[in-house]
Amino acid sequence: MKISKKHVYFVLVVTILTLAGLEIAARLYLRFGIEKSSSKKFRFNYYRVYEHIPGFHEGDKNGDWIVINRNGFRRTKDVSIKKPPHTYRVFFLGGSAAHGVSSRAPYPIRHIYSNETVDAYLEKELNQEFGANSVEVINAAVTGYEVFQHTEYLMTELLDYHPDMIIFFDGANDHYTNNPDYNYLEGFKYQFWKDRLQKPSLLGLFDYFAFYMADYSALFRGYVGRKLETDALERTYLQRTYRDYKTVEETIENHKIAAKKQFLRSIRMNLDLLHHENVATIIGLQPMLVLRDTNLLSATEKAFLHKDKNVQILYPTVDSELKALTSEYSVDYVDFNVAFNDLKYKNQQLFIDYCHLSPLGGEVTANALLPIVRKKVAEWAASSK
């Protein structure tokens, strides 16, 4: 059968129109369906697995709710590597809860703006006390990060900024594991490029092409985002961080074994490093909705509350482990679950989902940190005179 030019043109036009329609649909879905940017937020990092893309922003016609500055920090202002004179510099590290992210389905969508994060509240309060621009609280948290990635971040970048204090805000991503056989670094689930680099394939070449095209196309941006999620789920199935045990005692004992060679070891490395660099440190255990007194929950929180028995069982042990370790190093420790269970917040929404903070939750967290940070800044200010 002879194929005429007319047939070729027809197929070409239909293909172009189909792709254009899919692109428009993808942009509409990202913007109005899940309210996400059509641009990529992350890129590969040799040491930390992935990092923010400088200059990323996400928002709508009313303004941006997320801005990544040229340093890769969640901050509207850029940060000079050389610390300004008479400035106390604090870095706030953690995962998505520290970063401040929007909730998404099945939770009601709620965006967290740059002035609603923990670091923003803390910086504002401290500068009101000590003078404008006297304290920088810089949000260097990255969604999905575990403690070992903070170590790499400190060594490769953050210590060059000459911080006076580091605040760690962790818990949900790696503190409640109970599988002693889990390989803490090797098993990190967000290693999208690992197999594609080590085991090249045709599908890997397509993913590489899609990752490139995601800079220009919402359709490919959606594909890459979905691919990253499914890849992480597959890795989670391959290396389980949690196991089911017959008794509570078995769960706790296996957690203790795992913790010593996983997140506690990484925290110890960070404390050793920062002690050597003479940087003040606060270790924080992030709050979780499942650990909040159900009698205090707002109506919205009650609607999406789900019980995580593993977290509930292991919380007292994790708290004790962190208390013991921080006591050994003589550094400050804050369990933010205590503040979130204060009766004065009864019926007030502190979470937008299972662990991410509402604007009020961010403020409560900042207020819990304030006495410790205020004391350190006051001591610094007195010694600088």
User: Tens of pLDDT along 169-181?
Assistant: 999 999 999 999 9
Could you tell me which of 113, 136, 110 has the C-alpha nearest to residue 351?
110
Contact 109, 35 (CB under 8 A): yes
Least confident span in 91-100, 216-225, 267-276, 308-317: 216-225
- Averaged pLDDT, 364-372: 98
Pairing of strands 49-52, 280-285: unpaired
Could you tell me which of 335, 343, 340, 342 has the C-alpha nearest to residue 351?
340
**Whole-number Å distance between alpha carbons of 383 and 88:** 12
Residue 2, pLDDT > 60, answer yes
What one-letter code names the amino acid at 360? L
Contact 128, 55 (CB under 8 A): no
Of residues 115 and 237, which shows the higher confidence score?
115
Strands (E), 198-259: none
Q: How crowded is residue 48: how many other Cβ atoms within 10 Å of its Cβ?
A: 17
Distance of CA 93 to the CA centre of its chain: 8
Provide the percentage of residues in the chain whose pLDDT is more than 70.
99
Q: Could you give the residue ranges of the DSSP H alpha helices within 289-384?
A: 299-304, 309-329, 336-340, 359-384
- Averaged pLDDT, 233-251: 89
- Averaged pLDDT, 323-330: 98
Could you tell me which of 363, 324, 364, 357 has the C-alpha nearest to residue 121?
363
Q: Please write the tens of the pLDDT for every residue from 173-218.
A: 999 999 999 999 999 999 988 888 888 888 888 998 998 998 889 8
CA atoms within 13 A on the CB side of 93: 25
The predicted pLDDT at position 34 comes to: 76
Torsion of CA 252, 257, 258, 262, to 10 degrees: 130
Domain ranges of the chain: 34-189+239-384
The region that residue 193 occupies, defined by phi over 0 for left and psi between -120 and 50 for alpha, beta otherwise, is alpha
Of residues 274 and 205, which shows the higher confidence score?
274
Distance of CA 54 to the CA centre of its chain: 16
Measure the CA angle with vertex 267, ends 262 and 272; round to 5°.
130
Task: Compute the chain's Rg from CA coordinates.
Answer: 23
**Whole-number Å distance between alpha carbons of 305 and 303:** 6
- Averaged pLDDT, 225-234: 89
Q: Please write the tens of the pLDDT for every residue from 278-294.
A: 999 999 999 999 999 99
Banded model confidence at residue 24, pLDDT cuts 50, 70, 90: confident
**Whole-number Å distance between alpha carbons of 125 and 364:** 12
Banded model confidence at residue 1, pLDDT cuts 50, 70, 90: low
Could you tell me which of 200, 178, 174 has the C-alpha nearest to residue 189?
174
What does CATH list as the number for 34-189+239-384? Answer: 3.40.50.1110
**Whole-number Å distance between alpha carbons of 263 and 150:** 11
Could you tell me which of 207, 182, 209 has the C-alpha nearest to residue 195?
207
Provide the percentage of residues in the chain whose pLDDT is more than 90.
71
Contact 143, 58 (CB under 8 A): no
Q: How crowded is residue 132: how many other Cβ atoms within 10 Å of its Cβ?
A: 7
- Averaged pLDDT, 241-249: 93
The predicted pLDDT at position 192 comes to: 87
The predicted pLDDT at position 273 comes to: 98
Q: Please write the tens of the pLDDT for every residue from 127-142.
A: 999 988 899 999 999 9
Q: Which pTM value belongs to this model?
A: 0.93
